[in-house]
C-alpha cells in the first residue's frame, strides 16, 4: 500500500513539474513576444516624434533622438547637436518652416528601419522627400542613424 502511495505521489510530482515547465516556457515566449510588440510600437512612435519635432521646430529634442556614433564614411567624427540644430534653423530660414510631415515605412525589421518622410515647407511649393534610418539599441530604444540626411548631407 505504501508503494502505491509513493508511486501516486511520484506521478503527481512529475506531472506538476512538467506543467510548471510548460507554463514557464509559455511565459518566456509571451515575454519575448511582448518585448517585440513594444519595440515595434516604439519604432512607430519614434517616426511620429521626428515629424512632430520638425513641425514644431524642436530641434534639440530631435538631436536627442540621434545616435551620436560615427557612421563612416558619410558621418564621421563626433556628432555636434548644436551644429545640427543651427543647420535645421538655417534650412527653415531658406525653405520655410515645415508645415506638414508624413512618414511611411520602406524597410522594417527587429534591428533597423528605413522611413521615407514627405515634408511640406512654407517657401517650397513641391513636397520634399527625406530618408531616415532608425537603429534599435536594446538599452536606448530606437535611435536615428547619422546616415539620415535631415539637411543636404548626413548628420
- Residue 130 class from Cβ within 10 Å (0-12 exposed, 13-18 middle, 19+ buried)? middle
pLDDT-flagged residues of the chain (< 50)? 34, 36-40
Residue listed under C-alpha cell 516556457: 25
Of the candidates 147, 140, 85, 137, which has an alpha carbon nearest to the alpha carbon of residue 112?
Answer: 137
- Residue 53 class from Cβ within 10 Å (0-12 exposed, 13-18 middle, 19+ buried)? buried
What pLDDT score was predicted for residue 102? 94
What pLDDT score was predicted for residue 121? 93
- Residue 40 class from Cβ within 10 Å (0-12 exposed, 13-18 middle, 19+ buried)? middle
Of the candidates 147, 127, 123, which has an alpha carbon nearest to the alpha carbon of residue 135?
Answer: 147
pTM score above 0.75: no
* Domain 2-144 fold: Nuclear Transport Factor 2; Chain: A, (3.10.450)
C-alpha 101, offset from chain centre: 18
- Distance of CA 84 to CAs 19, 64, 77, 89, 107, Å? 56, 11, 13, 9, 25
Amino acid at each position: 500500500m505504501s508503494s502505491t502511495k509513493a508511486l501516486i505521489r511520484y506521478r503527481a510530482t512529475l506531472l506538476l513539474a512538467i506543467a510548471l515547465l510548460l507554463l514557464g516556457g509559455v511565459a518566456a515566449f509571451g515575454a519575448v513576444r511582448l518585448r517585440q510588440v513594444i519595440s515595434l510600437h516604439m519604432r512607430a512612435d519614434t517616426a511620429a516624434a521626428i515629424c512632430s519635432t520638425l513641425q514644431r521646430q524642436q530641434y534639440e529634442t530631435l538631436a536627442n533622438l540621434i545616435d551620436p556614433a560615427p557612421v563612416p564614411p558619410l558621418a564621421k567624427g563626433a556628432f555636434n547637436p548644436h551644429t545640427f540644430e543651427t543647420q535645421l534653423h538655417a534650412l527653415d530660414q531658406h525653405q520655410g518652416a515645415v508645415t506638414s510631415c508624413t512618414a511611411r515605412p520602406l524597410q522594417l525589421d527587429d534591428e533597423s528601419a528605413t522611413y521615407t518622410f514627405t515634408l511640406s515647407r512654407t517657401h517650397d511649393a513641391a513636397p520634399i522627400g527625406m530618408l531616415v534610418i532608425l537603429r534599435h539599441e536594446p538599452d536606448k530604444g530606437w535611435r536615428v542613424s547619422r546616415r539620415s540626411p535631415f539637411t543636404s548631407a548626413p548628420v
